């Protein structure tokens, strides 16, 4: 038979388990909704800057060839 201390232990562990699961789910949702979009935005910005630099370099090369 489970004593009162055993029931308290089981209840406490159950509560802690739910907070633990809540933390994992919260972290996963933060990654999905916050960090992944920010990472994609960062990569898009880097690609755009790289493309602009390449276009500027091509324009400068064409200008040098004309003169």
User: Over the stretch 15-52, which tens digit does the pLDDT of each residue have?
Assistant: 999 999 999 999 999 999 999 999 999 999 999 999 99
pLDDT at 60: 93
Token reading at 46: 């880097």
Mean pLDDT calculated for residue range 51-60? 95
pLDDT of residue 37: 97
Q: From residue 28, how far is each of 2, 14, 17, 40 by CA, in Å?
A: 36, 21, 17, 17
pTM: 0.64
CA–CA gap between residue 54 and residue 59 (Å, rounded): 9
């Amino acid at each position: 038979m489970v004593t009162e201390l055993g029931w308290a232990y089981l209840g406490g562990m159950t509560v802690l388990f739910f907070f633990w699961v809540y933390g994992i789910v919260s972290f996963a949702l933060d990654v999905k909704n916050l960090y992944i979009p920010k990472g994609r935005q960062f990569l898009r910005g880097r690609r755009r800057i790289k493309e602009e630099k390449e276009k500027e370099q091509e324009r400068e090369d064409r200008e040098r060839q004309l003169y």
